[in-house]
């Protein structure tokens, strides 16, 4: 069984060395001690979410605090190419489900997209609350899937923002039920951002598709069935990971 992963603040492991002791406290320490009942003698992984992690033995477990003696230090390089999910805002918790599963499937960045047909609107405090929820989902899914590099949560984007981002990307794939090109046959670039664009429940508008195609995007299909907004992105990422990372 893989070891549990706990996330520290970015840069918290920058000076970690084999033989040193790293302290896990705050909410993560509380979760480790009070919820998971971690005790001295057990082994855990601590990660800073940016690619550095340490593995070691718990040498002390007190209320809300773990002390871990470092036995291994690892630095995971940033993936190349990077997978970026542009996820249209969806009603209910469908977009939360998409973010969670996408993290498990290896996404490197998630961009919340205020698409033309998005019923949900992220504005003001409500929008900030929704962003915080997405970020919490990313963190929880990172730990659950035992990742040491957590996905980035991009800025909330309009269609204009997504088109600008697509213009700079190495490859842009728009999931569309009427597309002729199968996603499974796409050849990935060696570097740069690969954007996977997923529309809301009502679908991507023809104007949005045209704007993205004008900057080089390709419309692709997953298969003969139509997937929900919550499952299309993760399914696409699984296909891309299968031909590139999961070998």
- Which whole number is the average pLDDT over 66-94? 92
In this predicted model, what pLDDT tens digit does every residue of 2-59 receive, in sequence order?
Answer: 899 999 988 899 999 999 999 999 988 998 988 889 999 999 999 999 999 999 999 9
Per-residue H/E/C for 125-189? HHHHHHHHHHHHHHHHHHHHCCCCECCEECCCECHHHHHHHHHHCCEEEEECCCCCEEHHHCCCC
pLDDT given at position 224: 84
Structural tokens at position 92 = 């209910």
CA distances from 82 to 36, 106, 107, 186, 206 (A): 33, 10, 8, 15, 27
pLDDT at 247 over 90: no
Contacts 24+ apart (CB under 8 A), 34-41: 34/63, 34/64, 36/4, 38/4, 38/66
- Is residue 180 classed exposed, middle or buried when 0-12, 13-18 and 19+ CB atoms within 10 A define those classes? exposed
The mean-pLDDT minimum among 50-54, 62-66, 223-227 falls in 223-227
Strand partners, 173: 196, 218
The answer to whether 86 touches 233, Cβ cutoff 8 Å, is no
pTM over 0.75: yes
pLDDT given at position 1: 65
pLDDT given at position 193: 97
Helix (H, G, I), strand (E, B) or coil at 32: helix
pLDDT given at position 123: 87
Question: How many percent of the chain have pLDDT more than 70?
Answer: 100
Domains of the chain, CATH where assigned: 5-75 (2.40.240.20), 82-244 (3.40.1280.10)
With CA atoms as reference, report the closest residue to 43 among 20, 68, 13.
Answer: 68
Q: Cα torsion for 49, 167, 244, 10, to the nearest 10°?
A: -10
In this predicted model, what pLDDT tens digit does every residue of 139-173 receive, in sequence order?
Answer: 999 999 999 899 999 999 999 999 999 999 999 99
């Amino acid at each position: 069984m893989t070891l549990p992963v706990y996330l520290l603040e970015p840069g918290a492991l920058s000076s970690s060395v084999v033989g040193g002791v790293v302290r896990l406290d705050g909410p993560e320490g509380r979760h480790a001690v009070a919820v998971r009942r971690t005790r001295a003698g057990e082994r855990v992984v601590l990660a800073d979410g940016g690619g550095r992690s340490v593995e070691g033995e718990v040498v002390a477990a007190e209320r809300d605090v773990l002390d871990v003696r470092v036995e291994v230090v690892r630095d995971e390089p940033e993936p190349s190419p990077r997978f970026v999910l542009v996820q249209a805002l969806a009603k209910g918790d469908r977009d939360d489900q998409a973010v969670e599963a996408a993290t498990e499937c290896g996404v490197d960045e998630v961009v919340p997209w205020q698409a033309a047909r998005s019923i949900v609107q992220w504005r003001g405090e409500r929008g900030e609350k929704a962003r915080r929820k997405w970020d919490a989902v990313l963190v929880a899914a990172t730990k659950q899937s035992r990742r040491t590099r957590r996905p980035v949560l991009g800025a909330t984007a309009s269609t204009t923002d997504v088109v600008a981002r697509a213009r700079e990307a190495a490859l842009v794939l728009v999931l569309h039920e009427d597309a002729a090109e199968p996603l499974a046959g796409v050849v990935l670039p060696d570097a740069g951002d690969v954007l996977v664009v997923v529309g809301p429940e009502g679908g991507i508008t023809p104007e949005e598709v045209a704007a993205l195609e004008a900057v080089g995007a390709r419309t692709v299909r997953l298969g003969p069935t139509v997937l929900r907004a919550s499952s299309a992105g993760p399914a696409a990422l699984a296909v891309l990971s299968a031909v590139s990372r999961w070998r």
